[in-house]
Structure 1
Amino acid sequence: MQRNTILLLIVVSQFFCTSLWFAGNGVLEDLILEYGLTSYSLGHLTSAVQLGFISGTLVFAVTTLADRYSPSRVFFVSALAAGIANLGLLWVGNTLLTLFVSRLFTGFFLAGIYPVGMKIAADYFEKGLGRSLSFLVGALVLGTALPHLLKGNFLLSDWKYVVIVTTGLSFTGGTLVWIGIPDGPFRKAATDFRWNAVFTVFGNLKLRQAAIGYFGHMWELYAFWAFIPFVLRAYQVRWEIAVDTSFWAFLIIAIGSLGCVMGGFLSDRLGSKKTAFRALLFSCTCCLLSPLVFFQASITVFLAFYLLWGMFVIADSPLFSTLVAQNAEGPLKGSALTLVNCIGFGITVVSIQLLNTLQDIVPPAWIFTVLALGPVIGLVTLSKKLG
């Protein structure tokens, strides 16, 4: 099978499966009404997925599952399990606790989808890996945004259909990988289990630098995505302007897929590190400018600003993953990617909960400024020359 066909299958499957990520966010208002939740549920249910993903990536990394067994089979089993966990949103007896558990397990099994998908791509593409991963992360972005679009679709006006459709997509994506993608030609299988083996990857200075850049990026990314509807609604109230929150939240998140692809092509010319640095710098600038845009910009400028931010906030993600994969040694490439993902998503829980607390303390116009901290740390680290 040609590599382009393989890449297409990975991208489509990643898109289908990662639609589970924000399935709860896309129907959050309905969940609040259906189960008597509060506005704080946004942060709690988003963090549940992140915590589950962290737990899953830690388990996958320590056990080196994606390196010791066929990554396509690991992807398939994870996609089925994540889809089943997603259906927990439909249980009539749900409380915030049971919804939290459902999202927690969804996140846990997403750990066998997103980083394992990158591992599969790395097994097929030694050259042009940055461009390949840009398509893959672009698929993640579209999948993450999809529930917002589905919720705004009159064909799926009942929120329960959004849950059912995203589950069906996950089953389909997992099956496509299992049936259509054999182990790649550059795969190096780990032959034994050593629980601490993966932690040795941080001895590599270049990998550690890429990882810190990624961590700074992650401080901003998911908190930005999670609270986009909150800021859109606040702008709407402040200026008494009608804004279709679901539609624009979808566009602002989904346009990041274009940023990923553009970043991937640009990295072929500038290199992954330089391209990632520039995207992170632009995104950091947007954090700092967000209050000015909220108070001074027209609705057209406001939405254009967030669309641009949506492009750059994720454009560096595949490039950091490329740097990690290229600098990971031997057969632990998949586990290195998984561990870096694990730590990165741990950071997202902190930033999401911080914004969840600040939403009643800080004016909405200023809430995104605290997200600049992560990019600043990442930019400082990336600017250092290694000996």
Structure 2
Amino acid sequence: MRALNSPILVIVIAQLFGTSLWFSANSAAGSLMQTWGISEADIGLLTNAVQLGFIAGTLTFSLSGLADRFEASRIFTVSALLGALFNALFALSAEGLSSGLIWRFAVGFSLAGVYPLGMKMVVSWAPDRAGQTLAQLLAMLTLGTALPHGIRLAGADWSWQSSILVSSVLAVIAAGMIWSLGDGPHLKRQSGKSRIRLGHVLTAFTIPQFRASALAYFGHMWEVYALWTLVPALVVVSGLAQPNTPAQSGIAFLVVGIGALSCMLGGKLSQRFGSARVAAFALTGSVISCALFPLMPIDHPGWILALLLFWGATVVADSPQFSALSAKAAPPDIVGSALALQNAIGFTIGMVSIQLGTALVGTVDMYIAWLLLPGPVLALWALAPLWQQSFKPATPT
């Protein structure tokens, strides 16, 4: 595999550390349910508080144009530091669901300056390899999502607060890394004296290629974060592990974390086959996984685990390719805002599936997978105009 150059390496590691904030509370779900006396659906509320904060943040950045008005590296740095602070306050001061929701919302708002701006930064360093570099970035987002489960497994005897605080420390390190790196040479930024044009980013949706990629991304978002939220519960309802055990944390880490490898592989394949075709292949894998999971015999745990790992790999391998397609199609002067708006809409859609999934999984068990199935099916349909063409990124010269 082609070696990462230094700036890209810095950004993807910072993304890994920064996005560990995202599911830090979910890794302690069992302890929170016991300590606070809350339900699986309430864990969904905590997850959705992060999603809602992220949506509010991305809308603020995109509709105001701030994502393209100031240096991406500075926005990332400040956002990572704030996210670390709010995550620490959740661990140290939240006394129940109500106060916990406030701090998780604040963490989500901060992540709006980490994830989309990280995408913009990698494109600014290697615009001719957008599909591959964004795949590396999304691999770290995926691993960052899995990381709290790994931390929880490694520190099985720690308090839930200690496990969550590790993510805050990692986010502070991420801020320092990006502050030192700065922006890439290919970043086009609006003049600091220019007028903020509210809503100008909406013009991106008049471009057919951007519209097709964005619509496919929205279908993908119905599935991906809901699955990541539900993985600990799916491990239990399928009989692979008991709740609140190291085995549950370990399997959840593997199922989510394997997506990092598939993102990297997809990024490499996108250089040969194009982002649209790689995304279509991953979506097909998601369709198969959603359809088959409820039909798996519960007395064959090996097959269930294999399907969960396959699902974890395919559910996210398409995500960086949607970002690459959208970044390629959007006008250069609003690419940061366009990606942020795409994220905001996608996460709004994902909030619905997360809340429905966490509310229903205790009743329908493994059949909850069929709730997620319409997402990848609709995404394949929306992406068809792109993957049916010989769409391939330009070969670097």
Q: TM-score if structure 2 supplies the norm length?
A: 0.92
- Counterpart position of 1:344: 346
- Counterpart position of 2:395: none
Distance apart, 1:370 and its partner CA: 1.4
- Separation in 2 of the partners of 1:350 and 1:298? 32
Aligned pairs for 1:219-230 within 5 A: 219-230=222-233
2:239–2:298: 8 Å Cα contact kept in structure 1? no
- More deviation in 313-322 or 372-381? 372-381
1:75 aligns with 2:76: yes
- Counterpart position of 2:112: 111
Aligned letter for 2:263?
C
- Counterpart position of 1:85: 86
1:3 to 1:66, Cα distance in 2 relative to 1, 3 A: farther
- Counterpart position of 1:305: 307
Which string of whole-angstrom CA distances, capped at 9 and with x for unpartnered residues, describes residues 176-227 of structure 1?
A: 0011x22211111123210111111111110000001111111000111111
Aligned letter for 1:312?
T
- The 3-state SS of whatever aligns with 1:184 is coil
Aligned letter for 1:183?
D
Aligned letter for 2:347?
F
- Counterpart position of 2:136: 135
- Counterpart position of 1:184: 184
1:248 aligns with 2:254: no
1:54–1:342: 8 Å Cα contact kept in structure 2? yes
- More deviation in 306-315 or 37-46? 37-46
State percent identity of aligned pairs. 39
- More deviation in 189-198 or 47-56? 189-198
Aligned pairs for 1:222-301 within 5 A: 222-236=225-239, 244-293=247-296, 295=297, 298-301=300-303
Size of the aligned set, in residue pairs, is: 382
2:142–2:259: 8 Å Cα contact kept in structure 1? yes
Aligned letter for 1:287?
C
Aligned letter for 1:232?
V
Aligned letter for 1:350?
V
1:124 to 1:257, Cα distance in 2 relative to 1, 3 A: same
- Separation in 1 of the partners of 2:128 and 2:40? 46
Quick one: which of 193, 206, 209 aligns to 2:212? 209
- More deviation in 218-227 or 298-307? 298-307
1:236–1:243: 8 Å Cα contact kept in structure 2? no
- The 3-state SS of whatever aligns with 2:302 is helix
- The 3-state SS of whatever aligns with 2:128 is coil
1:243 to 1:234, Cα distance in 2 relative to 1, 3 A: farther
- Separation in 2 of the partners of 1:235 and 1:57? 36
2:242–2:248: 8 Å Cα contact kept in structure 1? no
2:286–2:314: 8 Å Cα contact kept in structure 1? yes
Aligned letter for 1:229?
P
1:3–1:124: 8 Å Cα contact kept in structure 2? no
- Separation in 2 of the partners of 1:167 and 1:186? 31
- Separation in 2 of the partners of 1:245 and 1:258? 21
1:150–1:156: 8 Å Cα contact kept in structure 2? no
- Counterpart position of 1:358: 360
1:207–1:328: 8 Å Cα contact kept in structure 2? yes
- The 3-state SS of whatever aligns with 1:37 is coil
1:19–1:144: 8 Å Cα contact kept in structure 2? yes
Q: TM-score if structure 1 supplies the norm length?
A: 0.94
- Counterpart position of 1:35: 36
1:23–1:166: 8 Å Cα contact kept in structure 2? yes
Distance apart, 1:301 and its partner CA: 1.3
- The 3-state SS of whatever aligns with 2:57 is helix
Aligned letter for 1:303?
L
2:238–2:298: 8 Å Cα contact kept in structure 1? no
Distance apart, 1:156 and its partner CA: 5.7
- Separation in 2 of the partners of 1:45 and 1:239? 22
2:240–2:301: 8 Å Cα contact kept in structure 1? no
1:288–1:369: 8 Å Cα contact kept in structure 2? yes
Computed over aligned residues only, the root mean square deviation of the Cα atoms, in angstroms, reads 2.1
- Counterpart position of 1:152: 153
Which string of whole-angstrom CA distances, capped at 9 and with x for unpartnered residues, describes residues 103-132 of structure 1?
A: 111001000000100000111111111000
Which string of whole-angstrom CA distances, capped at 9 and with x for unpartnered residues, describes residues 4-57 of structure 1?
A: 100000011000000000000001111222223223222111111111111110
1:213–1:381: 8 Å Cα contact kept in structure 2? yes
- Counterpart position of 1:102: 103
Distance apart, 1:66 and its partner CA: 2.3
Distance apart, 1:162 and its partner CA: 1.1
- Separation in 2 of the partners of 1:238 and 1:134? 31
2:94–2:100: 8 Å Cα contact kept in structure 1? no
Aligned letter for 1:284?
V
